[in-house]
Chains A and B, each alone.
Chain A
Amino acid sequence: MTFEYAPAPESRAVVDIAAHYGLFIDGQFTDPIDGGAFKTINPATEEVLAEISDAGSADVDRAVASARSAYKSTWSKMPGRERAKYLYRLARLIQERSRELAVLETLDNGKPIRESRDVDVPLAAAHFFYHAGWADKLEYAGLGPRPRAYGVAGQIIPWNFPLLMLAWKVAPALATGNTVVLKPAETTPLTALAFADICQQADLPPGVVNIVTGGPATGRLVSEHPDVDKVAFTGSTEVGKQIQRAVAGTGKGLTLELGGKAANIVFDDAPLDEAVEGIVNGIFFNQGHVCCAGSRLLVQESVADEVLDALKRRLTTLRLGDPMDKNTDIGAINSREQRERIDELVKSGDAEGADRWSSPCAIPEKGWWYPPTVFTGVTQAHRIAREEIFGPVLSVLTFRTPDEALEKANNSPYGLSAGIWTEKGSRILWMASRLRAGVVWANTFNRFDPASPFGGYKESGFGREGGRQGLAAYLKSGGH
């Protein structure tokens, strides 16, 4: 018999999306001064979800001024013990409103509700919880006896994990005593705006968190604002470089979390069933819209056929479709532009002679989608082995010895993450100490935790988020 799962859609009734959203400045929602607006769209249905304010120069000025004033008058004077309590409140409010936030995230981003419910939202709450605990313990963080906040942090986050990236940025900034002007991604502003409401429910002092929505222009206004003391950016390497140039010479603090092209390395003594799961989770989690995605599979030649057979079989069981369905594994691609970029890189793979295989799954008529795709016969010279695709596309290369795996893995301008699959502990440590990557997962992949520092080598950026090391991104040690 066949066992078809009936549709199991999560209810939309828990969210109440307004027709129009203002900017969140000084604790209040306010319309933009020049009145600009854009629309945010459900990528699974192409339905317009809401009209969002497009913050202009005067609006960003207002937001930065509000953050500055909150920093001076309240936040920098408040003892860490008291700041902590606000962060704990934010953590609890995210937990309390978790269903609503998960649904909003899935509607706006297109990711499966299973992921927003089980990964994004709980991790976001955990991030606030963890950093709340640091707020009154900064002298134990190893940054000198009296580390000081920067002041106003300008933060720009991407669309792949909207609420989680907000948490990664806002929680450490507030815990360390900075105030914030945050710009969410143009295509996924809704959970950030819900977070603004959460700040109000938490009675967070006005101006401590300001949220300005908009596109790249708004982002530039934030990162280049003269009264911003610290810039934190997560996004593409290209934009990261622009920001680095703009910030150069200004004395501002800067951390960048940029692209990646992670190698996921499978040795012949790996736990193979779990390795296959890890490969799937590595590249098909969140439709591959993950900067640390394991987009290059390096598999030892002696098990390559076995692993690829098992992988393809497994991929045919992935369920692509309505992101709101609790059984969906692969949701929608976040935007038409992203869909086109994936397509363009896949075509280059075809043109350069790699073998393409796509899971034979039905593609919905509306919205933007991409089936799980695997390229074999890929070499280091192919574009699909070098460029970040940011989609559900895996490039498979083979190797014969650990040294060769290491060389191929490191042969990239990026260095965000890597995976190693082997039951031999000493080899894990040997590889980990030689891989030029900020995060190395052994016998697992795409694990995140607020206690664990995350960030890259080389063109994947600098600075860490999470853990004790992540606090350094928002603190000056007081040394010279």
Chain B
Amino acid sequence: MESRADIRKTYKLFIGGAFPRSESGRSYKVDDSKGAFLANAALASRKDARDAVLAARSAQPKWWDATAYNRGQILYRVAEMIEGRRGQFEDDVVSAEGVSRRKAASAVDAAIDRWVWYAGWADKIAQVLGSSNPVAGPYFNFSMPEPTGVVAAVAPQDSSLLGLVSVVAPIIVGGNTVIVVASQNRPLPAVTLAEVLATSDVPGGVVNILTGDYAEISPWLASHADVNALDLTGVGDAGLAKQLAVDAAVNVKRVLPPPRKAPDWFDDPGLDRIRAFVETTTVWHPIGV
């Protein structure tokens, strides 16, 4: 039988709903867990990061303006699309993380279920984190959670899909938009996820995915005055994490520091990650005839 040469995918960035190469023209070699060549991924530059912030900022008002019900349905649609391409995700996870097919399958299961979990939160965050406040006076007073705005995140380095999903979903469910730097050495599941997002009714710019050297890109994001919050989950180097947190003070960014010990991404996520990226707005209104 004649052998057929396969068509290989070009791995690119995901910015504003489009798939550009790095403006720098750079790429880097991505190997599988055994050191064999997998692909050349785009090596994002500071200008790519700048473009991604622009895209995230311009998408944010509309994303927040969508009804919570609508955001929930869109996130659920993402879960449907991952389920439909689970074979590819399993392949990606197996080669990226070097785990067994079974372990990869359970990571994909958990990633899908995580989207579904967060999708369900879209129209419940305000019901759980908001309140009406019995102030001592003739005022109606209520507090509601609102998105902080544009969030820059460094995805976990080890858990290439489940970890990434666990960082991205809670940021966007509340109406934020995100620029996420994928796992540096295991970026391919993130690119596949970008392809899912691009076909899931998620508006362009809500999620922007950069691949490359996070130590090179993240300082630009941490010091960017039009970024509102920083998620340092995937920053393993404590010195860098501290420097980024210092840089973040330039415009008083909210900072989610790296976890003290390596998280088990299969655990129940709880609400901390949603809470980290919401503001609380409180409204006073007089009560009277």
Residues of A within 8 A of B (CB): 81, 84-85, 88, 126, 129-130, 132-137, 140-142, 402-403, 425-427, 429-430, 433, 450-451, 467-468
For B73, give the chain A residue with the smallest CB separation: A129
Q: Are A133 and B69 in contact (CB under 8 A)?
A: no
* Cα(A430)–Cα(B139), bound, Å: 9
Q: Are A137 and B287 in contact (CB under 8 A)?
A: no
Q: Which of A135, A402, A425, A426 neighbours the largest number of chain B CB atoms within 10 Å of its CB?
A: A426
With A133-B123, A451-B123, A451-B127 already in contact, the answer to whether A426 and B285 are too (CB < 8 A) is: yes
* Cα(A137)–Cα(B118), bound, Å: 10
Residue in contact with B69 in the complex, picked from A130, A141, A402, A427, CB distance below 8 Å: A130
Q: Does B119 sit at the interface, judged by CB under 8 A?
A: yes
Listed A/B pairs (17) with beta-carbon separation below 8 Å: A84-B120, A88-B76, A130-B69, A132-B120, A133-B72, A133-B120, A136-B117, A140-B124, A140-B271, A141-B128, A403-B289, A426-B286, A429-B285, A429-B287, A430-B287, A430-B289, A451-B68
Q: Are A467 and B121 in contact (CB under 8 A)?
A: no
Q: Does B288 sit at the interface, judged by CB under 8 A?
A: yes
For A82, give the chain B residue with the smallest CB separation: B113
* Cα(A134)–Cα(B121), bound, Å: 8
Q: Are B113 and A134 in contact (CB under 8 A)?
A: no
Interfacial residues of chain B within 136-158, with CB under 8 A of chain A in the complex = 140
Which residues of chain B come closer than 8 Å to A134, judged between CB atoms? 120, 124
The number of inter-chain residue pairs (CB within 8 angstroms) is: 67
How far is the CB of B288 from the nearest CB of chain A, in Å? 5
Q: Does B116 sit at the interface, judged by CB under 8 A?
A: yes
Q: Which of B72, B116, B271, B289 neighbours the largest number of chain A CB atoms within 10 Å of its CB?
A: B289
How far is the CB of B175 from the nearest CB of chain A, in Å? 15
Q: Are A468 and B72 in contact (CB under 8 A)?
A: no
Q: Are B116 and A129 in contact (CB under 8 A)?
A: no
Q: Are B288 and A430 in contact (CB under 8 A)?
A: yes
Q: Are B128 and A433 in contact (CB under 8 A)?
A: no
For A126, give the chain B residue with the smallest CB separation: B69
* Cα(A282)–Cα(B72), bound, Å: 29
Residue in contact with A427 in the complex, picked from B68, B116, B288, CB distance below 8 Å: B288
Residue in contact with A84 in the complex, picked from B72, B116, B123, CB distance below 8 Å: B116
How far is the CB of B10 from the nearest CB of chain A, in Å? 34
Residues of B within 8 A of A (CB): 68-69, 72-73, 76, 113, 116-117, 119-124, 127-128, 140, 271, 285-289
With A129-B69, A130-B123, A140-B271 already in contact, the answer to whether A468 and B128 are too (CB < 8 A) is: yes
With A81-B113, A426-B286 already in contact, the answer to whether A468 and B127 are too (CB < 8 A) is: yes
Q: Are B123 and A140 in contact (CB under 8 A)?
A: no
Residue in contact with A133 in the complex, picked from B121, B287, B288, CB distance below 8 Å: B121
Which residues of chain B come closer than 8 Å to A141, judged between CB atoms? 128
Other CB < 8 Å A-B pairs besides A467-B127, A468-B124, 18 of them? A81-B116, A84-B116, A85-B116, A129-B69, A129-B76, A130-B123, A133-B122, A133-B123, A135-B120, A140-B128, A426-B289, A429-B140, A429-B285, A429-B286, A433-B140, A451-B69, A451-B124, A451-B127
Cβ-closest 3 pairs across A and B: A133-B120, A429-B287, A426-B286
* Cα(A322)–Cα(B18), bound, Å: 49
For A406, give the chain B residue with the smallest CB separation: B289
For B119, give the chain A residue with the smallest CB separation: A133
Q: Are A133 and B285 in contact (CB under 8 A)?
A: no
Which residues of chain B come closer than 8 Å to A403, judged between CB atoms? 289
Q: Are B72 and A129 in contact (CB under 8 A)?
A: yes
Which residues of chain A come closer than 8 Å to B76, judged between CB atoms? 88, 129
Which residues of chain B come closer than 8 Å to A135, judged between CB atoms? 120
Residue in contact with A433 in the complex, picked from B116, B117, B121, B287, CB distance below 8 Å: B287
With A81-B113, A81-B117, A85-B116 already in contact, the answer to whether A133 and B124 are too (CB < 8 A) is: yes
How far is the CB of B141 from the nearest CB of chain A, in Å? 10
For A402, give the chain B residue with the smallest CB separation: B289
* Cα(A396)–Cα(B127), bound, Å: 37
* Cα(A425)–Cα(B138), bound, Å: 13
Q: Which of B120, B123, B271, B289 neighbours the largest number of chain A CB atoms within 10 Å of its CB?
A: B120
How far is the CB of B25 from the nearest CB of chain A, in Å? 43
Which residues of chain A come closer than 8 Å to B124, judged between CB atoms? 133-134, 137, 140, 451, 468
Which residues of chain A come closer than 8 Å to B117, judged between CB atoms? 81, 136-137
Which residues of chain B come closer than 8 Å to A126, judged between CB atoms? 69
Which residues of chain A come closer than 8 Å to B123, judged between CB atoms? 130, 133, 450-451
For B80, give the chain A residue with the smallest CB separation: A92
For B139, give the chain A residue with the smallest CB separation: A429
* Cα(A165)–Cα(B287), bound, Å: 34
Residue in contact with A425 in the complex, picked from B72, B116, B285, CB distance below 8 Å: B285
How far is the CB of A201 from the nearest CB of chain B, in Å? 16
* Cα(A129)–Cα(B119), bound, Å: 10
* Cα(A273)–Cα(B149), bound, Å: 37
* Cα(A450)–Cα(B76), bound, Å: 17
Which residues of chain A come closer than 8 Å to B122, judged between CB atoms? 133
With A133-B72, A467-B127 already in contact, the answer to whether A426 and B120 are too (CB < 8 A) is: no
How far is the CB of A146 from the nearest CB of chain B, in Å? 14
Which residues of chain A come closer than 8 Å to B127, judged between CB atoms? 451, 467-468
Which residues of chain B come closer than 8 Å to A427, judged between CB atoms? 288-289
How far is the CB of B9 from the nearest CB of chain A, in Å? 30
How far is the CB of A66 from the nearest CB of chain B, in Å? 28
For B289, give the chain A residue with the smallest CB separation: A402
How far is the CB of A423 from the nearest CB of chain B, in Å? 14
Which residues of chain A come closer than 8 Å to B289, judged between CB atoms? 402-403, 426-427, 430
* Cα(A81)–Cα(B110), bound, Å: 11
Q: Are B285 and A137 in contact (CB under 8 A)?
A: no
Q: Are B287 and A426 in contact (CB under 8 A)?
A: yes
Which residues of chain B come closer than 8 Å to A129, judged between CB atoms? 69, 72-73, 76
How far is the CB of B62 from the nearest CB of chain A, in Å? 21
Which residues of chain A come closer than 8 Å to B120, judged between CB atoms? 84, 132-137
How far is the CB of B187 from the nearest CB of chain A, in Å? 29
